[in-house]
Amino acid sequence: MELADIARQIAELPPEAQQQVADFVALLRARHAGGRGRVKPGRTPIGDEPFAGVWRDREEMRESGAWVRR
């Protein structure tokens, strides 16, 4: 679908529906603006959480796939 067609279809909607489209576009932009892997302000990166690596030295975790299969 061409952008001009989308714009025309939006313009044909009633004002409240146009507002819903604008709100949805804003939601999508916010969701995709930061990209993956970025930490939100005020959040601790997962690797810095106290539980990260808690099973690192456990023998059964060396071969976690085999452990799960057992």
Task: Provide the residue ranges of all domains of the chain, joining segments of one domain with +.
Answer: 1-32
Query: How far lies 67's CA from each of 10, 51, 58, 60, in Å?
Result: 55, 20, 11, 6
* Ordered per-residue pLDDT tens for the chain, 70 residues: 799 999 999 999 999 999 999 999 998 888 887 655 555 677 778 777 777 777 777 777 777 778 778 8
Q: How is residue 1 written in tokens?
A: 């679908």
Q: What is the pLDDT of residue 63?
A: 78
